[in-house]
Amino acid sequence: MSHRETIVRGQPAVELSARTGDRLVVALHGGHLLSWQDADGTERLYLSPTALFDGRSAIRGGVPICFPQFNQRGPLPKHGFARNLPWTFAGETAPDAWTLRLTDSDATRAFWPERFGLDLTLSVPRAGVLRIALQVANTGAAPWSFTAALHTYLRVDELADARLLGLQGAPCWDAVRDARATETRDAIGFGEEFDSVYGAPAQPLLLRQPRGDLHIASSPDCPQTVVWNPGPALCARLADMPADGWRHMLCVEAAAIDAPVELAPGAATVLWQQLDARPSSSPTA
What value does the mean pLDDT take over residues 61-88?
94
Percent of the chain at pLDDT exceeding 70: 98
What CA–CA distances, in Å, run from 158 to 44, 245, 250?
13, 10, 10
Average pLDDT over residues 146-153: 98
Of 29, 215, 248, 253, the catalytic one is 253
Q: Supply the pLDDT for residue 73.
A: 84
Band the pLDDT of 1: cuts 50, 70, 90: low
Q: What is the pLDDT at residue 170?
A: 98
The radius of gyration of the chain from alpha carbons, rounded to an integer in Å, stands at 18
Q: Is 151 a catalytic residue?
A: yes
pLDDT at residue 33, rounded to an integer = 98
Spell 81-93 as b/e; 16+ CB within 10 A means b. bbbbbbbebeeee
188-205: per-residue pLDDT in tens?
A: 999 999 999 999 999 999
Output the pLDDT for position 283.
43
Average pLDDT value for residue range 159-164: 98
Mean pLDDT of the chain: 95
Looking at residue 230, its pLDDT comes to 98
Please confirm, yes or no, whether 248 is among the known catalytic residues: no
Confidence bin at 77 (pLDDT 50/70/90): confident
Give the whole-angstrom CA distance, residue 271 versus residue 147. Answer: 11
pLDDT of residue 280: 53
Residues of the chain above pLDDT 90, percent: 93
Active-site residue, selected from the candidate residues 79, 151, 215, 248? 151
Please, which residues have CB within 8 angstroms of residue 114's CB and are 6 or more apart in sequence?
Answer: 68, 104, 138, 140, 142, 144
